[in-house]
Amino acid sequence: MRELSGRLITALVSCFVLAVVFGYVASSIGNGSIVQFDTTIIHFVQGAEAPWLTKVMKVFTTIGSTKVVIAISAITMGLLLYFRQKAQTILFLIVIGGTATLNLVLKLFFQRARPDLNRLIEISGYSFPSGHTMMATSLYIILAFILWRNARMPGRILYVISAIFMISMICISRIYLGVHYPSDVIGGISASTFWLLIATSVYLIKTQSKSRLSIR
């Protein structure tokens, strides 16, 4: 019980910090004070431009696309249902569906235009927060969370490292390809992690409650 309480306190504090970060980034975009930061990072990342690297980045940005996310999500839910993990299937669906909805709402609210410095691919829609970033963060973290709860060490560490790698590469690819500002990525990570913490915290509370009832 104490362990769960500690996790919930940590989650609440983390949610507060993430909300502050998102709010700061959003307000900085509104008043234009983040322009120098965005421009500096974009020039640094795109300074490494090379034909072979562009191909690699296009692969990672494709992995973070809607079609691939839907495919991975369908396979994941199918496997969870096959192994009769109903609660985790619902959790996964809530995380992914909630992230997609949250991103749509936020983009329509802020309506930030995409950067036009050195765009290597063409894409439509608003820029803030990054949809690829939000979906990648939610998808790979929730996959790591589910695998962590169903696997043993040392596999757990591998899941976390893989999740961090995939999220990082997809985020970098969006900046490299010129379709997102770094602040779009930071905002996307903040928003999706905020939602993840809420969803997983509720899941842990309900799981703990059921465990206590079954023991009695």
What integer best gives the mean pLDDT of the chain?
91
Contact between residue 130 and residue 153 where contact means Cβ atoms under 8 Å apart: no
For 1-27, how does the pLDDT look when each residue is reduced to its tens digit (9 = 90+)? 566 677 788 889 999 999 999 999 999
* Whole-number pLDDT of residue 151: 77
- Counting residues of the chain whose pLDDT is more than 90, the rounded percentage is 77
How far, rounded to the nearest angstrom, does the alpha carbon of residue 65 sit from its chain's CA centroid? 13
For 121-145, how does the pLDDT look when each residue is reduced to its tens digit (9 = 90+)? 888 899 999 999 999 999 999 999 9
Domain ranges in the chain?
A: 2-215
For 36-51, how does the pLDDT look when each residue is reduced to its tens digit (9 = 90+)? 999 999 999 999 999 9
Distance (Å, rounded) from C-alpha 34 to C-alpha 67?
32
pLDDT band for position 156 (cuts 50, 70, 90): confident
